[in-house]
Amino acid sequence: MSFVTAHDIFHAYGHRPILERVNLSVAEGEFISIVGASGCGKSTFLRLLLAEERPDRGVISIDGAPPAREPDRARGVVFQRYSVFPHLTLEGNLVAAEGLGTRWGRLHGAARRAARERARATLERIGLAHAAAAYPSTLSGGMQQRLAIAQALTARPRILLLDEPFGALDPGTRVAMHDFLQEMRAETGMTVFMVTHDIQEGFKLGDRVVVFDKPRWDPQFPDAYGATITYDFDARHGGIPFQTLKEDTRVLQSA
Ligand SMILES: Nc1ncnc2c1ncn2[C@@H]1O[C@H](COP(=O)(O)OP(=O)(O)OP(=O)(O)O)[C@@H](O)[C@H]1O
Ligand SMILES: [Mg+2]
């Protein structure tokens, strides 16, 4: 059963097509790694899933309905830039993330104390326990990114969108955050879309690795065509492609 579906998506900025004929069907709980050249539209695709933008043509559906525009607990996000609350301490950031799922956006009393304890445990797990009372601006870029990832995971979203989440991290921290993400995923069964420039990371974490690329290319007009999904690899079974976009299927699709 498809949980997230992109059907025949076309999206342009002005006269520049960015994405064309993007089709993807994702089951609940799957981990999709997205790779592709810089500027080919990977972040744009995540923004469409988030409903920050609507596709010019085609349909995106999540659990059978168009993605909701309002931020909700269903979708957690870690973007290329850090997305933590600057006016809250590290602990406050994690407690606030739990509050996102409540009616008033805040927790009180025993629930708040329990959230605080979980926040401390999470900070311990990501190596930031010593900085629980510090503000994000006092942290290094890599530490802020770790906090942002922990924050998104704390809200236990049904869908997690990660845009190059580990780019700023040193190799040791990166592996620790991989473990953390995998543990959280095993606990929650969430569906994950992760854009990465590290193809090894894509295959290590993903169930599938999808490649965005431009199948059509005019050297005179490099912006004339958009990118689509050219490969969809099964990362769990030796990287065998599920589907490779062939010339004849392209003709059929555009016919
Ligand atoms: N709001 C916008 N208005 C106009 N053009 C945009 C807008 N957002 C993105 N673009 C352009 O669309 C193209 C795709 O951008 P996008 O950020 O999706 O690429 P990307 O694959 O995420 O690249 P990177 O790997 O460098 O992050 C780029 O050429 C970018 O300049
Ligand atoms: Mg991007």
**Domains delineated in the chain:** 2-254 (3.40.50.300)
Task: Work out the pLDDT band at 157, boundaries 50, 70, 90.
Answer: confident
Closest Cα to atom 1, ligand 1: which residue? 13
Please tell me if the CB atom of residue 18 comes closer than 6 angstroms to any atom of ligand 1: yes
Supply the angle between the helices 141-154 and 90-99 in degrees, to the nearest 10: 30
Q: Where are the alpha helices (DSSP H) in 189-232?
A: 199-205
Give the number of the atom of ligand 1 that is nearest the alpha carbon of residue 14. 4
pLDDT at 42: 97
Closest Cα to atom 9, ligand 1: which residue? 44
Please tell me if the CB atom of residue 41 comes closer than 6 angstroms to any atom of ligand 1: yes
Tens of pLDDT, residue by residue over 38-93, are: 999 999 999 999 888 999 999 999 988 888 776 555 565 655 445 688 899 999 99
163 C-alpha to ligand 2 centroid (Å): 7
Could you give the CA distance from residue 1 to residue 25 in angstroms, rounded to a whole number? 9
Task: Work out the pLDDT band at 16, boundaries 50, 70, 90.
Answer: very high
Q: Where are the alpha helices (DSSP H) in 9-161?
A: 42-49, 90-99, 109-125, 141-154
Strand partners, 227: 19
Tokens at residue 125, please? 């797990």
Residue pointed to by tokens 């295959």: 203
The one-letter code for the residue type at 30 is E
Please tell me if the CB atom of residue 43 comes closer than 6 angstroms to any atom of ligand 1: yes
